[in-house]
């Protein structure tokens, strides 16, 4: 079976003048190599395709694959992660991971939380801020948490994200609106422990494959799994498997969220506990990072006894069920 690999290579965007933070979600060469090597170990024939414009050119030239392993984050628009799956749907080429609807929905953190809240899954109260004038009608009590509406990898999250008073809220929202050119998601701050749950499978076959707690060291930015903390995780962050009681609570929330959002094949659900110790949905990562060493999903898999090769195999087995009858 011929498998194309679509991706955004970080070095390409750095050469175009993107900053390290702007290019944070894009992939390193060793990520692509690790995925390709794992697919070849599973006896797939692979071909590197590249980003959405390279894919479009290849399709117009008549290139086809039996399946595409897609990890493209995209660059512009709320549907940036959905662009490659939409193109592949137009050419009736199956692909790994979620479809355009899911990837557009889940990039919009507030829309995702609305679906989660409607399903009765716990998530912090929130609102969307598109201008500073809207802060006047905010009704959520302090402390608050503010972050860009549609970013990942901790972009826009730092020590100023936890907000204690009105002046700080205005300053943080002004910075985020100006820097990221998108609305700000303002939430009730969840003061408890933070976890991420690894997911594999689709629909009735979906399952939680592992969990890890994110523990910030004394030299980390306090109380936030921020861009800086993630970038320097070896020094600033410790990871561990939590006790069984909290694991089961997290698994319940994560699996319900994964299925209500109709995510596919593999990814992560991020959770944080409220003041009562109950896990709340933060966000979903249906295109979770797959660097074999540094990405959260492979890290939690290692902690839970799952090799990188096995993770890729589980993802592929889930995707193949849609095309192998």
Identify the pLDDT of residue 210: 98
Task: Kindly provide the b/e burial profile for residues 25-34, where b requires at least 16 CB atoms within 10 angstroms of the residue's own CB.
Answer: bbbeeebbeb
pLDDT 10s digits, 168-201? 999 999 999 999 999 999 999 999 999 999 999 9
pLDDT digit string, tens, across residues 232-287:
999 999 999 999 999 999 999 999 999 999 999 999 999 999 999 999 999 999 99
- Secondary-structure class of domain 2-95 per CATH: alpha beta
Kindly report, as residue ranges, where domains of CATH 3.30.1490.20 are found in the chain: 125-188
Q: What is the DSSP letter of 51?
A: S
Given CATH 3.30.1490.20, say whether it is the number of domain 125-188.
yes
Read off the tokens for 165.
């008073």
Please give the pLDDT value at position 24.
Answer: 86
Class at the top of the CATH hierarchy for domain 191-320: alpha beta
Mean pLDDT of the chain: 96
Residues of the chain with CATH 3.30.470.20: 191-320
Tokens standing for residue 111:
């829309």
Q: Is 280 exposed, middle or buried (0-12, 13-18, 19+ CB in 10 A)?
A: buried
**DSSP per-residue string spanning 208-223:** EEEEEEEEE-TTSPTT
Residue 154 predicted with pLDDT over 90: no
């Amino acid at each position: 079976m011929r498998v194309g690999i679509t991706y955004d290579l970080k070095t390409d965007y750095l050469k175009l003048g993107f900053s390290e933070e702007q290019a944070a979600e894009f992939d390193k060469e060793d990520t692509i190599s690790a995925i390709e090597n794992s697919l070849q170990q599973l006896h797939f024939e692979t071909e590197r395709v590249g980003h959405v414009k390279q894919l479009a050119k290849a399709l117009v030239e008549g290139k086809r694959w039996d399946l595409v392993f897609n990890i493209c984050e995209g660059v512009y628009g709320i549907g940036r992660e959905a662009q490659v799956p939409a193109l592949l749907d137009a050419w009736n080429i199956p692909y790994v991971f979620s479809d355009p609807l899911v990837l557009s929905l889940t990039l919009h953190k507030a829309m995702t939380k609305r679906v989660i809240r409607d399903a009765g899954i716990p998530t912090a109260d929130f609102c969307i801020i598109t201008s500073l004038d809207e802060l006047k009608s905010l009704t959520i009590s302090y402390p608050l948490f503010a972050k860009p509406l549609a970013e990942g990898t901790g972009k826009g999250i730092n020590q100023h994200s936890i907000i204690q008073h009105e002046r700080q809220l205005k300053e943080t929202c002004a910075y985020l609106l100006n820097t990221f050119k998108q609305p700000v998601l303002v939430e009730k701050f969840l003061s408890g422990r933070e976890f991420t749950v690894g997911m594999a499978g689709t629909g009735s076959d979906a399952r939680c494959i592992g969990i890890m707690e994110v523990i910030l060291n004394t030299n980390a930015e306090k109380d936030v799994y921020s861009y800086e903390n993630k970038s320097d995780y070896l020094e600033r962050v410790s990871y561990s498997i939590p006790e069984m009681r909290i694991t089961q609570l997290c698994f319940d929330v994560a699996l319900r969220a994964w299925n209500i959002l109709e995510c596919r094949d593999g990814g992560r659900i991020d959770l944080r506990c409220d003041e009562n110790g109950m896990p709340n949905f933060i966000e979903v990562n249906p295109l979770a990072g797959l660097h074999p060493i540094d990405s959260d999903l492979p890290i939690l898999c290692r902690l839970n006894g799952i090799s990188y090769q096995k993770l890729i195999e589980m993802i592929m087995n889930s995707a193949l069920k849609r095309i192998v009858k």
